[in-house]
Structure 1
Amino acid sequence: MPKTSPITGLPIEDYKIPKSPLWRRLNWKRIIPLGLVVFFLGKFFLTNTGFTEEGRVLQVVDQTAEAVEEKNREKLSAALSEDYSDRTGLDKSGLLDLAQGYFNSRNQIEVIRVSSDVDFPSEDRAIGTIRFQVIGNIGGDLYHGFRDSSALGEKIIYRLQKVGGDWKIVSIDPERGTWR
């Protein structure tokens, strides 16, 4: 009597080992898309959770947007470097005074980051481009856009420097050249 498998109950002699290698038997039509999804989700989470330098830089940018939304001068000041200076001629106190004018108003906005790109010319410097949309209630009217209603959002260039291990914004330059 032939030996039978304790699991299947089939005769062991009837079991045939596949002759093709494992890599040929895998369903690559499912494995490749799944691998790409895992790769891009991993990259997204690593970038946006602060585990990478780019993620830490974007956290400072998001902190700045939250400070504007919450009308919080201290939170905005904490994100800016003491050496802040932009091409419009504003220093840190000038930018905070400009923001305070909005903070004192009854207007309420939401800043939505559309896209961002960060480059690192050195270990302690970062230069990035961000596109954002501003949506809110300004003067009783629904407002969409910073200067216009561009579908791509407004573009700013920001520069950051590492100060004491933390990233601080050194300048924020609007694409149009002025904040007013």
Structure 2
Amino acid sequence: MNEVSPLCVGNCGSGNLALHPVHPPFPLPGEPGNVSYYYPEDFDFTNATETASASIASLRQGASKTSKNSSLTTTMSHEYLRTTPTPGFRNINHPPYVTNHVPGDLAVHAESPDATHSDGVVEYDIHNLYRHHLLNVTYHGSGAGHWGKRQPVPPDLYVYSMPQALSFSLYGIPIFGVDACGFSGNSNEELL
């Protein structure tokens, strides 16, 4: 798969699994009835200082965003599907042009186009601007790359990907990567 294709709509963050209207046909790790007791190597159960600092930073960002948003006023009382471009209004998930996306909403089974990056840029505006695919095939040429370790392995076996990465750099394949987290389970923000 060369495109981001999550099985959720909207915020896919940790702890929001029950809020997703689209669900995979199998239970995800951490859901009721499928408790995962597998932790990454060197997992520290006492990361209270990291959690506290992350929570404080998140609260500060949320407070600054709400103060900025409270100063904005909107003249629309309700939102509906627009078929013509309207100045001052942008419905990114339902653009005013025809798309060949069967589910209709562009955020269904794809990366949400209204996802906002840390610098405030919307994904819709920059998606495929500098596109590059790191494929499972290996070839020489511009933008060549290779993705290794596709099978789910314990974290202690990732040491074998280091010689593979060095070998590919000697072969002239400049980009090499492995699935470091979230390949065979449901990753969260802390692992990314």
Q: Shorter-normalised TM-score: what interval? A: under 0.3
Which structure: greater helix fraction? 1
Q: Which has the higher contact order (CA 8 A, sep 6+)?
A: 2
Q: TM-score, normalised by structure 1?
A: 0.21
Work out which of the two has the higher radius of gyration on C-alpha atoms and give 1 or 2: 1
Which structure: greater strand fraction? 1
